[in-house]
Amino acid sequence: RMSSLPLALLVTVIYVTAQAIASTGRNKCVARNFGFDSVVCECNATQCDDIGSAALPSLGKFSSYLSSMSGSRLEPQLGRIQGNSSGTGLRLTISREQKYQKIRGFGGAMTDAAAINILSLSAGTQEQLLRQYFSSEGIGYTFVRVPMASCDFSTRLYTYADTPGDYDLDHFSLAQEDVNMKIPLLQRAQALSPRPLSLLASAWSAPSWMKTNGALIGKGSLLGQPGGKEHKAWAQYYVRFLEEYAKHNLTFWAVTTGNEPSAGRISNYSFQALGFTPEEQRDWVALDLGPALHSSPYPNTHVLILDDNRLLLSHWAKVVSLGQRSLGKITALLYLRPDFLSDLNHHVSGWIDWNLALDQTGGPNWVKNFVDSPVIVDKHRDVFYKQPTFYSMAHFSKFLWEGSQRVGVSASQDTELKYTAFVRPDNSVILIILNRSSAEVPFEVWDPEVGHITSTAPARSFLTLGWNTD
């Protein structure tokens, strides 16, 4: 999750540039400065910066895309690959024989708050916002996390089965937030996407009547034991959710075992939570959730465990996975610090960000747990702002297609640059470079299959390079 300060609402808005169309025909960022270190890009129904399909040039050339604190936003350049070294001191060497994990995808969350903000805009601006995330000219999001019922980024507390004692879930029904907001937006996002979206469902809390504390919030877990009636009803709740969304032609790639199970073990926790220990979660999946999914119309749904902070990962994965030898589609989902590059270099295969869009206070959020978002909505002006984090995500999500495999890359000397390299399914190469320093850093790339690339990473910037090899 992003946890930086939300974009402040300032009375004075400073126009930095109003240039709309570059000589290449690419829509440029209409930049606004809200008094922070960098700018945001303003979009409305008819104008928004884009990078198009970002197709790579023919053999012998390379593309680069730059975003920087100074105001560049995925600015494209074209260069020529050389046969000889430039003699630049720092050389990054691509090693294709060193193969690591493959990319699964990137995305964000369609919370109640995100849906409320998107739908607060005019129809044209809504379409523009969804297009920026999901269309072929957008930043390549293929994952959407969908809360099952309410979370803190809702305006009220609710579940889909609030009738006490309804173990057969006879009164189960989706909320108006699903039917009127999230489902229509997910359908529109899918219609814009050139590929099927992978939907991921996460529940924050079971109905209060299933819980030890009799409340959606605070410290509480499921009544009884795995295999008991509450645990089985909670597993069937997942199946009913999948069934109801399927009626709207929305199917889910995966479900998680519940948002932040550690939070439900904390006294006086301020918003929705359901506590599990790894042993309890292991047994619930083995005895209840796994069998429920296998006997449902959705037996191929993946189950993602943990859905919590990285500190818990090692122990949690060992405990839960050792108990699931007959249930094969179990993966760990965890919250990571906002350093995509380092995480990718430590075997992470994807990234699902938090809210797709928030308002200028960082909400709505019923418990006032305000945070930031890559997109901030100003409904009064019918505009939205793409923040620097939007472009940070784009340097990965736009270029690292599903199936891209991380390969080795090494530096000839110590450097402040961070870097990661991938070979895509079409055998093209993507190299992503982060320069956190206050000085520009010249460097050379050596790919034995194509030759030498000379480039420079400006101060405090992301730089994505891409080239074909066939």
Neighbours of 80 (CB within 10 A): 11
Q: Answer for the pair 104, 329: CB distance below 8 angstroms, yes or no.
A: no
pLDDT of 9 higher than 60: no
Using DSSP's 3-state secondary structure scheme, residue 311 falls into helix
Question: How many structural domains does the chain have?
Answer: 1
Percent of the chain with pLDDT over 90: 83
In a domain, 443, yes or no: no
pLDDT tens track for 409-458: 999 999 999 999 999 999 999 999 999 999 999 999 999 999 999 999 99
In a domain, 439, yes or no: no
In a domain, 116, yes or no: yes
Who's near 445: CB < 8 A, 6+ residues apart?
91, 92, 93, 94, 431, 452, 453, 455, 465
325 to each of 254, 290, 306, 334, how far by Cα in Å? 18, 11, 17, 21
pLDDT tens track for 112-157: 999 999 999 999 999 999 999 999 999 999 999 999 999 999 999 9
Write the DSSP string, 27-78: BPPEEEE-SSSS-EEEE-SS-----TT-----TTEEEEEEEETTS--SEEEE
Q: Answer for the pair 31, 17: CB distance below 8 angstroms, yes or no.
A: yes
pLDDT tens track for 155-206: 999 999 999 999 999 999 999 999 999 999 999 999 999 999 999 999 999 9
Instruction: Give the pLDDT score at 18.
Output: 31
The domain spanning residue 175 has which CATH number?
Answer: 3.20.20.80
Buried b (16+ CB within 10 A) or exposed e, 218-241: bbbbbbeebeeebbbbbbbbbbbb
- Sequence-ordered strand ranges (E) for 258-315: 302-309
Q: Answer for the pair 445, 455: CB distance below 8 angstroms, yes or no.
A: yes
Give the tokens for residue 342.
């380092």
pLDDT tens track for 261-274: 999 999 889 999 99
Instruction: Give the pLDDT score at 72.
Output: 95
In a domain, 239, yes or no: yes
Find the domain containing 172 and state its range. Answer: 105-397
List the one residue out of 316, 308, 189, 169 whose CA is nearest residue 244: 169
Mean pLDDT of 301-318: 90
Rounded to whole angstroms, the Cα distance separating 181 from 116 reads 7
Sheet holding 383-386, edge to edge: 14-15, 30-33, 40-43, 383-386, 375-378
Q: Where are the alpha helices (DSSP H) in 111-152?
A: 112-119, 123-134
Instruction: Give the pLDDT score at 5.
Output: 34
Q: What is the pTM assigned to this prediction?
A: 0.92
pLDDT of 406 higher than 90: yes
Instruction: Give the pLDDT score at 27.
Output: 85
Who's near 369: CB < 8 A, 6+ residues apart?
152, 153, 270, 271
Rounded to whole angstroms, the Cα distance separating 278 from 315 reads 8
Rounded to whole angstroms, the Cα distance separating 272 from 148 reads 11
Given pLDDT bands bounded at 50, 70 and 90, which one contains residue 335?
Answer: low
Using DSSP's 3-state secondary structure scheme, residue 301 falls into coil
List the one residue out of 47, 12, 48, 59 whose CA is nearest residue 33: 12
| Mean of all residue pLDDT scores within the chain | 91
